[in-house]
Structure formats: C-alpha cells, structure tokens
Structure 1
Amino acid sequence: MNHDVLKRVIFDQHGIIRRASIVPRRYTIDPNANYVITGLRRAGKSTLLYGVVRDLIARGVAWNQIIYINFEDERLSGFSLQDFQDIPLVQSELSGDVGYYFFDEIQNVEGWERFARRMADAGERVYITGSNATMLSDEMSQRLGARYFVRRIMPYRFDEYLDAQNQAYDTSALYTSREIGRITALFERFYHDGGFPEALRFVSPREYVENVYQKVLFGDIVARFGVRNPDALRVLVRKIAETVRSEVSYTALHHTLKSIGYKISKDSVIEYIGYAHAAYLLFKITNAVAPFVERMGNPKYYFVDNGLLNLFLIDRDTALLENEIAVALYDLFGEGLQYLKSPKHGIDIDFYIPEEKLAVQVAYTIEGAARERELENLLRLSRVQGEKTRLVVVTKGEEGVIERDGVEIEIVPAWKFLLQLAGCPAAQ
C-alpha cells in the first residue's frame, strides 16, 4: 500500500475529528484495553471513537500518534489483508512514540481479524468499529479471544438526546416549570423520532431513519445472510413491530405469513428473526420464570430505536412508550433484563431485573381500569417474593406514590424514569 495515500487518509481524518461536534456518551472506555465497538448502523460508533481520540489529545498525546483509518474511504478500495503490514510502518514514520490505532468499518477487509490479533499480541492499543452483521458480539469473542473488549453501542438515550439539544436537566432545570416543559416537549419528539444522532440534523427524521432501515434490511441482512425471500423478511419485520409488548409465537408468525401467500417454513421464520437480531435491528427478552424451552420459544422482541419501530405503526403511542423503556433498560442491564409472566401466581410484569430488585410496568395512563390492573400485578409480585423490590409504573405523564398493604409503588413519568436510569441525581 502506498504510504503517502495512507498518510493522506490519516491526516484528513484528523481534520474530521477536530471539527466534529461530540456529545458525550455514557459508555465507559478503559484506557488500558483494546475494543471492538459494534452496534446498529449510524448509532454513533465512530463519534464515540472521535471522543476517545480527543481525550487522548487532551492528555498530551500528539496527533501524529493517532492512526485513524476509515476503511470506507474510497482511496482504500483496493486494500487487502497484506496491506495491513504497512500501517505500523506508517505510524513509525509519523512518530517515534507509541501509536494509537483506530480502525473504522474494518470488516470491509477480509481476514482483518488476523491483523487485529497480531496487533493486540504486540501490545498495541487498538480500537475497532463495525456496523454490519459480521461484527456480532459473540463472533468477535470467538475470533479475537480475550484480546479485545466488545462494546455494543445503541442510538442516543434520552439524557444524551437532551445533551445534543443543549437542554439542561440538572436540579435547577427539573424544578423549573419552563424547563420541565421543554424537557417533556423534547421527550415527545424523542420517543416518536428515536435517537439516531445524525437524524437530529434533519427536518424530517423519519426519512433518515427509513434510509437507515433499508440499508440494514438489504445490506446487513439480505446480502450478508443470502436471504432468498426479501419480501417475506420485510413483512415479518412489520409483524414483529405489531407484536411489540407481547410474547412472540413463531408458529403464529409462520401461519400469518403463510395465510398471505408467503411459502416460508417455520424454521425460516426463526432464522429471519435471528438475522434481524444479529444485525442489531431487534433485541429480545425472555420470561424469568418459564422453563428453558418455553422461555426460548416465546420471547418478547423490541426494536433498538423508536424511530425504527415508528416506521411500522399506526396506533403507536402505547407501543412506542413501552419500546423506549425496553431500550433504555436493555442498554443498561443487557441480558439481565427479563419479563415475568406466571399464570400460577397471576403475575404479568413488563420488565423485571432480578439482580437489581426492580420491577417495571409501563402504562400510557393509570386512569380507569388500567390503574388496578397495573397495581395488582406489582402487588402480587411483592406478596410472592416476600423481599424488598422497587415497584414502578412508568406512565406518559402521571406521577406520584401509591401505598397498598404496606407496599409502595412509584408512579413515574417516562421522561423522568429515563433520566433516573441515566443516574441523573435531580431525577431520583
């Protein structure tokens, strides 16, 4: 590889990083570790690395030590596995000090894992991003061993969205009616439009999100996995959107697709949903009390961003509210997030994190019949457990505390609950 071309790519990227507007993300990066940053397209992975670079510069690292290469740069269109050996050579030409290597969309080069392992074994500091289904967390652990931490990045959470909008949410803001009004207005936009960072620049975020979805569907799923029936996949994703808030039955989905003319097997239905999960379009949670086979066979699926879910919904507000709470909880607790459905005890809890002793119901409102239904599920859980669990009903706007039989149930508006999950002291 021509070293001058590599240097131009690196220095042009330095200029991009210098000019970038960076919203701090909640993800922590250990300065002594190597990372593979994965996640949905356009979730902000590259910008996260820009922040890491700027932190290094602030700590005294020279720009000549920063080797940042975006493998989507057309000047690298012929880059091959053998060309990787030129990167450390270029670094040594630019600086006599240690280098810091950032490789964006590295999956474009076949065999990149061998180079990544070699760099880690040599004690180099390396950060890697990738956005398609070739960069699955499980696969990365197998390909790279224990040499790299794998960090999954999701679109903005609500506190990050407020940061991007320059909206304060400190104590003074949360005790000021005008500021609360602004926060709730921004939440209204956030939970309809989603949190893709670049979508904030557009008058019509929906068009931007639609474009991301098409790239994920056809680039990361159809092309990557060789899907033979893309139309069936598209309909299946729509049907999954319609089941948000409910357990998924693969058999029912198979029958639905068959009834509208798609000749697709049940196994293919399961495979297609797995592809969407692999491409970071969906995530699933399972029943905390179900037997293993049943738990695996009847999960709940949610979309990783409300903007994506909103592409498919008509009567949408209740589903969007629950999906946003699911996304925030999953981002924080990962596989520790479950739901709890026990016919034996008459319990149906939307979200349950046993390690945190937290149970969450989501209800657009608790007026009328919904009040007793949501409260009773939490009360039954409290009676069965016999231990202290934080019981919360998340609503669109209602707030308060209800005490029943010596049990306290918090009623928290969604915007405030999301700030609580972010650790905002003023929202606690």
Structure 2
Amino acid sequence: MSIRKDVIKQCLISKQREVDEAEIVNRPIDFEENGNYVIVGVRHAGKSYLLYQRVRQLQAEGKGWDEILFVDFEDERLAEFQAEDFNSLLEAHLELYGKKPVVFLDEVQNIPHWDKFVRRLADAKYRVYVTGSNAKMLSKEVATTLGGRFFICDAYPYSFKEYLVAQQVELREHWEYDTIQRSEVKRYLNEYFYYGGLPEILSFKNKRAMLSSLYQKIYLGDICARNNIKNDRVLNILIKKMAESVKQPLSYNRLRNVIVATGSPISVPTTIDYADYAADSWLILPMENEIGKLTEKETQKKYYFVDNGLLNLFLMNSETSLLENMVAVELCRRYGKKNVFFLNAEKEIDFVVPDEKLAIQVSYSIKDETTYNREVSPLVKYAKAHEDWKCLLITYDEEGTEEEIPVVPVWKWLT
C-alpha cells in the first residue's frame, strides 16, 4: 500500500523545522555546486548533520525550503515506504511549492531500488545528496552502482578542532601562549584522546559504556548482519587482535593463527574476508606499506581504528597506540585514506603522504634514550635523503627541535 501524499507532506514540513532548529558544527567539506553526493562513513559520525550543513549553505545562497526537499527515512511515518512511492516525494513537493528542488535523502538504504531512483534524478539534472547505513551501503558498491554521477564523501568522527567547537571552546589569537586556554585545550584533548570524537559521545557522562554499546550493537552488529555471520566470536577476536597490534604491520596468517589458537578453526581466505568486512564498515582503516612489494601491500597492512574511543575499548595502559591511532585518523581525514601510508624498509617511518611530501614519526615521549634512537634516527636519515620533504615528530606534550626535525605536541598539531 502506497504512502499517502499528505503523510509525505507532513514529513517534509516537520523535517524542515528540525533542520532549521538543529545546532550544527560546521565541518570543512567543500561541496561542488553542481555535484551529486553520497556521504559514507562510520555509524554515528554525523552524516545527517553534514546534510543539514549543506542545507544551511544553500539557504545562505538564497534558496528557501521551496527549493529544497529533505526526507528522513527513519521517520516512522515512512516505515512502509516502497520504491513506487519515490515519485510521490517529488509530486508532494511540487504540490506544496511548484518548484524543482535540490533533493536530500537521509538514511535511504532500507528502501528497495533507492539507487535506481537517485540515478534517475541525476539523469534528470536534479542535485541529489544521499546518506545511508554502512550495513546496507558500502562506498565501493555505491561507486559501482551509481557510476560517475555521484561524488563519494567520507564522513569521519569530529576532528579535534571540530570537537572544541562542539564543546563551545573559542580559540583566541595566540591562545597557545595563554596559560588558562592552553590548559583548557589540553583538558579537552585528554578527553578526546581516550573517548574519541563521535558527536554523540558529547552528551553522555558514562562515555565508555556508550561506546561499548555502540560497538556491540551497531558496529559488530552491522558487520554480522550484512555478511550473514552467525557467530560473532571469531570476528570479535580478529578485531581485538587488530587493536592490540595497531602500531605493527599484521599479516593475514598471523591473524588466522591467533584465532586458531583460541580454539576456533578458520581459513586464511575467511580471515581476509573478515578483515575486509571490518574495513567496509569503517570500523577499521587499513594502511599499506608505501614501498612494499604488491604481495606485502596486500598482506602486511597496519590496521587503525576510525575513532580512539572505539580502540580504547580494547586497550589497557597503551597511550602510545592511542597517540599513533589519533594521528593516523587525522591524516586520513586531511589527505584521504588512500593517500596515507607507512614505510617499512631500511627506515621505518610511521606515516608518509607522498602527494604532500610529508613524513611523520609518532612517539608519546622521546625523553628515553632507547625511544629517541628508535624514533628520531630513522626520521633524520629519511629527511637527509628527502630534502624537499617536510618531516615532523609528533609527541603527546613535548616540543622543540631534534637535529633540525620539528618536534610538535599533538594538541598543537591538531589545532
């Protein structure tokens, strides 16, 4: 049975009020004026609010709700929505306003044949913005299904800058020299360091319990539901091993051996599948060796977690892993996850971004001589061999210069 058009109109109007009243942290995403977008990313990263942000941008350019159609498919009034109802959306808006709108479809993944509808809209020269759950909508599948009609936009949890804005912290000029404000930034960094930047986390006092619930019910559940995994125990062991090994390359054979040692038989191909499922869900960000052989690139990856709060669920007293993970996610956010690598050859460098000629080493502290030699020496050698590259050493709270290499505390680098 089709959704009545008056119900659709009610949903459109009530959503307009919700968007207008929402408090938004503006995020640095540049939307092409004539582009169509599918926003993908980890669950609860704020994809819907990116649509709200785009609506506000269009309103600032002079468009009103008479030129914007926004549908939230999690509205219970649309629970019975089917593919044949899509055209009623356009008809309902046309009856209300008589204009061709920019179309926003939020959480559309559960509606059959949504992809065919948005392709038709794009072919008819509508501007279209779409979000959906990673349990049903993977970026690689979207790219295949929608062809060249849509840009894929990656949504990450808050950066530290965005986190400060969400906490209503306004950084004054030269704030790093202001004792009070510097202390405030460091206090929020400590919170961000351990509990991450998922927007929803800000409203919870028991942040760890909230993160644990998200992981068990949503992230793990998403992966199992999409890939028909009946027993999540093996998947959970694999993810835990990835968390314990954040700083080291991890082979599929090693992952398999760890799982087998717990009494769960598993093949290498199935291990590879499970690792891919975790990456597809955006829980994990795989990273390749920049100069490794093809087989090494595919089988000896590092695995970072998309949010420090999720990683911290698995760790005990591992500030070094949390620091490196935080830097990894920020680099992926700034430069794109396909453009960031680690270097494991004669010299071991934590991160290289070839397109930016940037090399970064991460160490919680370099006061210890052994740590200094392990972290600083390879970067110094790399800098001498790549004079046109920018090389940085990022620490938790130490600053200075070591053999012409800038040493930057992470709170300063992130802001």
Q: Tell me, yes or no, if structure 1 residue 390 matches structure 2 residue 381.
A: no
Residue 408 (structure 2) aligns with: 412
Structure 2 counterpart of 1:348: 348
Range moving further from structure 2, 229-238 or 57-66: 57-66
Could you tell me how far 1:170 is from its partner in structure 2? Answer: 4.1
TM-score (norm 1): 0.93
Q: Could you state the TM-score of these two structures normalised by the residue count of structure 2?
A: 0.96
SS of 2:157's partner is coil
Letter in 2 for 1:116: V
Q: What letter is aligned with 1:175?
A: Y
Native 8 Å contact 1:321 1:364 kept in 2: yes
CA deviation string 1:329-385 (max 9, x = no partner)? 01111211000111xx3x110001112111111101000221222111112213434
1:401 matched to which residue of 2? 401
Answer whether contact 2:72 2:107 (CA < 8 A) is retained. yes
Amino acid at match of 1:376: S
Q: Secondary structure at the match of 2:298?
A: helix
In structure 1, give the amino acid aligned to 2:225. Answer: A
Question: How far apart are residue 218 of structure 1 and its match?
Answer: 4.1
Query: How many angstroms does 1:198 deviate by?
Result: 1.4
Q: Deviations over 1:85-144 (max 9, x none)?
A: 111111111112221211011111121110000000001111100121432222111111
Distance 1:98 1:58 in 2: 18
The correspondence of residues 19-168 of structure 1 with structure 2, limited to 5 A, is 19-168=21-170
Look up the equivalent residue of 1:30 and give its one-letter code.
Answer: E
Note closer, same or farther for the CA distance 1:281–1:92 as it changes in structure 2 (3 Å cut): same
**Does residue 378 of the first structure (1) align with residue 379 of the second (2)?**
yes
Deviation per residue, 1:10-61 (Å, 9 max, x gap) = 1111121122110011112122211101111110110111111122223222
Q: Distance in 2 between matches of 1:354 and 1:190?
A: 28
Taking the aligned partners of 1:288 and 1:55, their CA distance within structure 2 comes to 38
Please point out which of 322, 337, 341 is paired with 2:340.
337
Cα distance in 1 for partners of 2:217, 2:58 equals 33
Distance 2:19 2:210 in 1: 23
Are the equivalent residues in 1 in contact too, given 2:193–2:308 (CA < 8 A)? yes
Q: Secondary structure at the match of 2:414?
A: helix
What is the aligned-residue RMSD (CA, Å)?
A: 1.3
* Contact in 2 for aligned 1:65/1:94 (Cα 8 Å): no
Report the Cα distance in structure 2 between the residues aligned to 1:61 and 1:358, rounded to whole angstroms: 41
Structure 1 stretches of 4+ moved >3 Å: 215-219
In structure 1, runs of 5+ residues without a counterpart are 420-428
1:67/1:102 contact within 8 Å kept: yes
Partners of 1:127 and 1:71 lie apart in 2 by: 13
- The farther-off stretch of 220-229 and 109-118 is 220-229
Stretch deviating more after TM superposition (230-239 or 214-223): 214-223
Q: How many residues align?
A: 411
Structure 1 contact 72–108 (Cα < 8 Å) conserved: no
In the alignment, the residues of structure 1 paired with residue 66 and residue 209 of structure 2 have an alpha-carbon distance, to the nearest angstrom, of 39
- Structure 2 unmatched runs, 5+: none
Summarize deviations over 1:278-328 as a string: whole Å, max 9, x none: 011001111111111111110000000001001111122111110000000
Report the CA distance shift for 1:32/1:215 in structure 2 as closer, same or farther (over 3 A).
farther
Deviations, residues 189-242 of structure 1 (Å, cap 9, x unaligned): 101110011110111222222222123334321011111331111111111100
Distance 1:328 1:177 in 2: 26
Amino acid at match of 2:342: Y
